[in-house]
A and B are shown apart, each in its own frame.
Chain A
Amino acid sequence: MSDRASILGAIRSAKRTAHASEDIAREAAALVAEPQAIQPNFEGATLLDRFVAKATSERVTATVDQVATMGEVPAAVSGYLQRVEQESSICVQGGAPLEELDWTSFDLTARLEEDGRCAVTYAEYGIAETGSVVFKSGAHGPILMNFLPLYHIVVLRAANLIGYSEDLWPLLGGANVPQSRLLTLVTGTSGTADIEARNVRGAHGPKHMHIVIVAD
């Protein structure tokens, strides 16, 4: 007997009861009905307020800039790099909407392998509950742009802010739509507490995260 058959057989003999798929699906749906009952409540704060408060909290440690239009993003990036005293050598994610912006004042690089580089990437969504930003792998640029640089600069449209992770799943198109290879919820920077439980940032990837929120 194959391992597959043995495992499924052992489960069936332990449980003995077969149920119709529809009944199981109904029971599963009931277990997550009314998600408000388990979602941290932030009534009274807007999505933007909550997102900024969480992203810049002591536990997440990102910094946030707010600009009016996409066209203002390069200037915001330049201002940030000056504040943190980094040279303007950056790696910008390809495709819309970042590639078409005016990056002429920057030294653009395609290489990310060495430390000390900055990358600018575009987040599909922001989750207000936790101050997380959401990225998907694809043709627009290596997903590793979010994991390799020391300075991670994230561009996020305010219109793409959502409340909770439960609000994200339907936006991905549902269970029957082919998904990107990788979907990641990033909350702050690469950290570790593996030595004496002391929190240290910049473990393997970003040590600093800066989020530019675009109003329009």
Chain B
Amino acid sequence: MIQTSDRFRDHVARALTDDNLKVALTRTTGLLQTRRKQVIDEYAEYGEARKRAQAIKEHTLNHLDHYLEMFEANATANGAVVHWAQTPQEARRIVSEICVAAGAKTATRVKSMLGEEIGIAEALSDAGVERIETDLAEHIIQLADDPPSHIVMPAMHKTHEQVADLFDDKHGVAPDSHDIPDLVGSARRELRQKFLNADVGISGANFLIAETGATVTVTNEGNSELTCTPPKVHIVTVGIEKLVPGMDHASVFLRLLSRAAIGAEITQYTTFYNGPKRQGDADGPEAYHIVLVDNHRTEMLGSDLEPMLRCIRCGACMNHCPVYAAVGGHAYGAVYPGPMGSVLTPALSSLEAAKDLPNACTLNGRCKEVCPVNIPLPDMLRNLRARQWDANLPTRVSKAALGAWSFLAKRPRLYHLVTGLGVHGIRLWAFGRSRIKRMPFAGGWVKHRDLPRPEKGSFMQQYNASLHATRNRK
């Protein structure tokens, strides 16, 4: 997809007036929060597991060269062909060449964010291959020609009514009804033969196991196995940070990933791919390729962005982010939305191309709280703001405002005087009403919401008054 994070403000303005989006986001994020909380509360060992998960990722990143070489050796011994790509262009070239060499006409695909990141769609169209998305959500957005809006549920922005219209229009046989189960049934009917007839199957990987050379996928639909088994070629494209040392380490993450992502103890299908078809096997691909992709990850190593490489792409941070819940994933204009995306997008592109993203954050800290690998997202977003300041990226208005604030903050008496007057002024402007609909100098802020009338007196004025009252009582 083409990154449009530089138009974040326009996207937000559009998102906030989109009624369908509001309905779709309300129906999903609340449900995901409730389900996650329930399984985490039931998992008494969660705290220790989270600590270990963080330590395992830190260890693996510290020895990433060692584990990459170990993975390559073991995967090769299993019969895989391992490729290395520093850039998305190189990864696309490798995928295109494999498809062309195989004489492929169609390719089924299991959703993977790395695939989105490197532009798998483009690689396949370059090779003249018809792409068939098999994840239900990816199937929906392929038919709608939309980019994904969430890393676990890419069609989160669509209501079931919109999906029904889409399937009526695009499916060979229209859905039996517009109920959600019948919509799922219609996709099943549409995709079944395509699975079995594809020439190439493309997946990502949730984990790479260094000591066995396995790639691991976790899905609920079972579309990964249906994608990677019938075709004669299976291609895995995966980021180098997905490594874990061994199977026992994978167990730690399997318990955390589905709990954080969808509120389940485990997903329906956890599958380890160890190579191409073995001699005598009843099914399976003849060739198995793994493309290890860097795309700026090695630049993040050793920098203050390194903790982001721990991310296991569960999506919990976005499910719990008030900004994401208000504007949806498309507003971010990048492959990765929400809090993790606001950290990752500047790292994968540039600070300037994504300069609004680190500011689209209330610093409420929920993203870090729910992160299964304890990534300090709010701190990292704050660091990115500081870097923007150093790079002279903020607008003149925001620099002037911050300058004025810092002038006051360094002079406490003046600060209290001005804030006290400010509160008084806003109360007067409210003309006795409890909500303020129009505000000078803050037209943008009150455009989509009302400002509540402030309490009488600033915090410090109220605090001092109550202190005074207590003393007098004594």
- In the A-B complex, the 5 residue pairs with the smallest Cβ-Cβ separation, listed nearest first, are A14-B302, A10-B298, A194-B137, A14-B301, A169-B247
For A11, list chain B residues within 8 Å (CB): 64-65, 68, 298, 301
Q: Which A residues are CB-close (under 8 A) to B246?
A: 28, 32, 169, 175
A37-B220 Cα distance, complex, nearest whole Å? 27
Known: A40-B43, A197-B31, A204-B188. A182 touches B248 (CB 8 A): no
Chain A binding surface, main DSSP class: loop
CA gap between A27 and B63 in the complex, in Å: 11
Q: CB distance A187 to B268 under 8 Å?
A: yes
> Which residues of chain B have C-beta atoms less than 8 A from A183's C-beta?
214, 271-272, 274
Task: Knowing A197-B27, A203-B188 are in contact, say whether A182-B225 is a contact too (CB < 8 A).
Answer: yes
**In the complex the two chains form, is A4's CB within 8 Å of B160's CB?**
no
Q: Is A75 an interface residue when CB atoms closer than 8 A count as contact?
A: no
Contact in complex: A196, B281 (CB < 8 Å): no
Q: Which of A66-74, A79-87, A132-140 contacts B (4 or more CB under 8 A)?
A: A132-140
- Name B254's contact: one of A142, A165, A200 (CB within 8 Å): A165
Tell me whether A7 and B63 are in contact (CB under 8 A).
Answer: no
Could you say which of A32, A181, A204 contacts B281, with CB atoms under 8 Å apart?
A181
CB-based contact A41/B221 at 8 Å? no
Query: Chain A residues with Cβ under 8 A from B55's Cβ?
Result: 31
A138:B59 contact, CB within 8 angstroms: no
Say yes or no: A15 contacts B64, CB within 8 Å: yes
CB A5 to nearest CB in B, in angstroms, measures: 9
> A28 and B275: CB pair below 8 A?
no
Q: Does B340 interact with chain A (Cβ within 8 Å)?
A: no
- Chain A nearest CB from B394 CB (Å) reads 29
Question: Which B residues are within 8 Å of any A CB, using their own CB?
Answer: 24, 27-28, 31-32, 42-45, 48-49, 52, 55-56, 59, 62-66, 68-69, 74, 78, 84-86, 90, 134-137, 140, 153-155, 158-160, 163, 180-181, 183-185, 187-189, 191-193, 195-196, 211-212, 214, 220-223, 225-226, 229-230, 240, 245-252, 254-255, 262, 264-278, 280-284, 292, 294, 298-299, 301-303
Best-buried of A94, A190, A200 by chain B (most CB within 10 Å) = A190
A7, B184: Cβ atoms closer than 8 Å: no
* Cβ proximity bits A127-152 to B, threshold 8 Å, 1 near / 0 not: 00110100001111111101110000
**Does B160 lie within 8 Å of A196, measured CB to CB?**
yes
Cα–Cα distance between A164 and B251 once the two chains are bound (Å): 9
Provide the bound-state CA to CA distance between A137 and B78, in Å.
14
- What are 20 inter-chain pairs, A to B, with CB distance below 8 A? A10-B294, A14-B302, A15-B65, A32-B56, A38-B45, A39-B45, A40-B45, A143-B284, A144-B229, A175-B246, A192-B136, A194-B136, A194-B153, A195-B160, A196-B159, A197-B32, A200-B180, A200-B184, A203-B220, A203-B222
Q: Is the CB of B44 within 8 A of A40?
A: yes
Cα distance A193–B292 when bound, in Å? 30
**Cβ-defined contact, A195 with B184, below 8 A:** yes
Closest chain B residue to A16, Cβ basis: B302
Taking a contact as CB atoms under 8 Å apart, the answer to whether A38 and B160 are in contact is: no
> How long is the Cα–Cα vector from A183 to B225 in the complex, in angstroms?
10
Residues from chain A with a CB closer than 8 A to the CB of B63 are 15, 19, 24
A6 is an interface residue with CB less than 8 A from chain B: yes
Q: Does A216 contact B (CB under 8 A)?
A: no
Q: B276 contacts A144, CB within 8 Å?
A: no
Contact partners of A107 in chain B: CB under 8 A: none
Question: Does A76 touch B at the CB level, under 8 Å?
Answer: no
Given contacts A11-B65, A204-B191, are A191 and B220 in contact (CB under 8 A)? yes
A39 to B252, CA, bound (A): 9
> Which residues in A have their C-beta under 8 angstroms from that of B251?
32, 35, 164-166, 169
Among B85, B184, B277, chain A packs the most CB atoms within 10 A around the CB of B184
Q: Which residues of A contact B303 (CB under 8 A)?
A: 14
Q: Are the C-beta atoms of B222 and A147 separated by less than 8 Å?
A: yes
Whether A130 pairs with B265 at a CB distance below 8 angstroms is: yes
How many Å from the CB of B38 to the closest CB on chain A? 10
CA–CA, A24 to B64, complex, Å?
Answer: 11
Q: How distant is the Cα of A113 from the Cα of B195 in the complex, in angstroms?
A: 10
Task: Among B59, B180, B222, B240, point to the contact of A204 (Cβ < 8 A).
Answer: B222
Q: Which chain A positions have C-beta within 8 A of B181?
A: 200
Max chain A C-beta neighbours (<10 A), residue from B158, B185, B265: B265
Chain B residue numbers with a CB within 8 Å of A189 are: 268
Assembled-state Cα–Cα distance A140/B254 (Å): 28
Q: Provide the bound-state CA to CA distance between A180 and B158, in Å.
A: 40
B169, chain A: closest CB distance, angstroms = 16
Residues on B with beta carbons closer than 8 Å to the beta carbon of A196: 24, 27-28, 159-160, 180
A164 to B247, CA, bound (A): 12
For A21, list chain B residues within 8 Å (CB): 66
Please state if B221 and A204 are interface contacts (CB–CB under 8 Å): yes
Nearest Cβ in chain A — how far from B87, in angstroms?
Answer: 8
Q: List A contacts of B43 (CB < 8 A).
A: 40
A185 contacts partner chain B, Cβ-Cβ < 8 Å: yes
Task: With CB as the reference atom, state the residue of chain B lying closest to A93.
Answer: B282
* A94 cross-chain contacts in B, Cβ below 8 A: 282
A138 to chain B: closest residue by CB: B281
Cα of A140 to Cα of B271 in the assembled complex, Å: 19
A179–B274 Cα gap in the complex (Å)?
A: 7
A188 to B265, CA, bound (A): 12
Interface membership of A205, Cβ < 8 A: yes
Residues of A within 8 A of B32 (CB): 197
Q: In the assembly, what is the distance between CA of A179 and CA of B222, in Å?
A: 21
Q: How far is the CA of A191 from the CA of B220 in the complex (A)?
A: 5
Q: Is the Cβ of B223 less than 8 Å from the Cβ of A203?
A: yes
A162 CB contacts on chain B under 8 angstroms: none
Q: Is the CB of B270 within 8 A of A184?
A: yes
**A53 lies within 8 A of chain B by Cβ:** no
